């Protein structure tokens, strides 16, 4: 009998220590083994100085399946991967590891950014609705006072009926937030300098106007040189008294030095999943201010949400094996205005 030819593509997992154990279930590893020629338990943590097993697998790999902590794919690394044609990233941004050398060589890149966008959008939706109902303030007052209060007297400005929400950035996450807001009776404003026509039911406005009109401003722009401190002193001063700033994007997009006085005075509220620096100083008032909800960058995929990214990336691997184009292909030009 003639030996059968295995036409499945060769694949190597490449990501930081401990990531694969959180990303994959046993079913994911089984599917990976069915779709490709790979050792689903071999994970390359360092492609710049690989050991013999990883070096051999890298030399054969047509696909690199990456996630957080992947080695930057420099020209030197790519020289060890002569058969490599594609990178499938089971997370969001590829800027950390996909270099100019990848684009110059014509390597195709796919990302699970769309899968990672959903939990961030869900977190944002919850933050917006809770902000409109003043949940943080009322919960803290209730815990402190522990008595009956005339909540109806205090709540004249509470509620989400026809409240104005401003979305900064029609990114993947920003668009998902817009989708999730549709069932609610909200007035939605959008700022995005690259957009010429807004989605149905959304008003496209300038950034300063958005901040001045919105009870809740939610930031979803990418971290770029042009977006550094885009929510600055002028935008914060324009926000109405009692407005809430939600930031699930990157801390560097908000001028925290300008924001803090508004928070300390109680004029503004904030829901901050990201800060600049990423970990605030131990004495930062952000930890203790009653009008601030500070979370440790948990809006993105965590726990079982990582499995959604694995599912998404495995679908891209399946498409590659069938000779189909990636569903979520990333191109070099995309990175000039995306995360």
Helix (H) or strand (E) holding 207: helix 207-213
Annotated catalytic residue within 45, 134, 176, 250 = 250
Nearest CA-CA partner of 32 in 12, 7, 5:
12
Q: What confidence score (pLDDT) does residue 324 get?
A: 98
Annotated catalytic residue within 297, 307, 319, 337 = 297
Q: What confidence score (pLDDT) does residue 2 get?
A: 52
Task: Tell me if residue 162 is catalytic.
Answer: no
Distance CA 45, CA 71 (A): 7
β partners of residue 111:
89
Task: Tell me if residue 223 is catalytic.
Answer: no
Residue 166 near residue 217, CB atoms below 8 Å: yes
Q: What is the mean pLDDT of each run of 10 residues along the chain (339 residues)?
A: 75 98 97 97 97 98 98 98 98 95 98 96 98 88 84 79 97 97 98 93 98 98 94 98 97 98 98 96 96 96 97 98 96 83
Block residue for tokens 């914060």: 236
Annotated catalytic residue within 104, 154, 278, 324 = 278
Nearest CA-CA partner of 299 in 218, 191, 224:
218
Task: Tell me if residue 297 is catalytic.
Answer: yes
Catalogue the E-assigned strands of the chain: 11-14, 43-44, 63-66, 86-89, 108-111, 163-168, 186-191, 202-204, 216-219, 244-247, 269-272, 292-294, 329-330
């Amino acid at each position: 009998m003639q030996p059968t030819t295995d036409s499945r593509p060769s694949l190597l997992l490449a990501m930081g220590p401990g990531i694969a154990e959180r990303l994959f279930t046993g079913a994911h590893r089984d599917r990976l083994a069915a779709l490709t020629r790979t050792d689903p338990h071999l994970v390359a943590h360092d492609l710049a100085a690989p050991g013999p097993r990883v070096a051999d697998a890298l030399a054969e790999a047509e696909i690199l399946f990456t996630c957080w902590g992947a080695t930057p794919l420099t020209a030197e690394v790519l020289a060890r991967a002569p058969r490599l044609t594609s990178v499938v990233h089971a997370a969001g941004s590829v800027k950390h590891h996909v270099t100019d050398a990848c684009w110059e060589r014509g390597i195709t890149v796919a990302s699970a950014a769309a899968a990672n966008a959903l939990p961030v959008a869900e977190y944002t939706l919850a933050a917006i609705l809770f902000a409109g109902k003043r949940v943080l303030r009322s919960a803290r007052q209730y815990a402190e006072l522990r008595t009956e209060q005339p909540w109806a007297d205090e709540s004249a400005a509470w509620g989400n009926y026809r409240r104005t929400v401003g979305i900064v950035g029609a990114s993947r996450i920003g668009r998902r937030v817009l989708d999730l807001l549709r069932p609610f009776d909200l007035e939605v404003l959008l700022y995005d300098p690259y957009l010429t026509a807004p989605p149905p039911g959304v008003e496209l406005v300038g950034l300063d106007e958005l901040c001045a009109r919105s009870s809740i401003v939610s930031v979803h722009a990418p971290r770029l040189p042009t977006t550094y401190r885009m929510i600055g002193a002028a935008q914060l001063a324009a926000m109405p008294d009692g407005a809430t700033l939600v930031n699930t994007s990157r801390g560097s997009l908000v001028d925290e030095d300008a924001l803090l006085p508004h928070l300390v005075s109680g004029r503004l509220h904030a829901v901050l999943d990201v800060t600049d620096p990423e970990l605030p100083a131990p004495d930062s008032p952000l930890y203790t201010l009653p009008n601030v909800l500070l979370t440790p960058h948990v809006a993105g995929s965590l726990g079982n949400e990582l499995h959604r990214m694995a599912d998404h990336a495995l679908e891209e691997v399946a498409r590659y094996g069938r000779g189909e184009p990636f569903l979520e292909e990333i191109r070099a030009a995309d990175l000039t205005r995306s995360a």
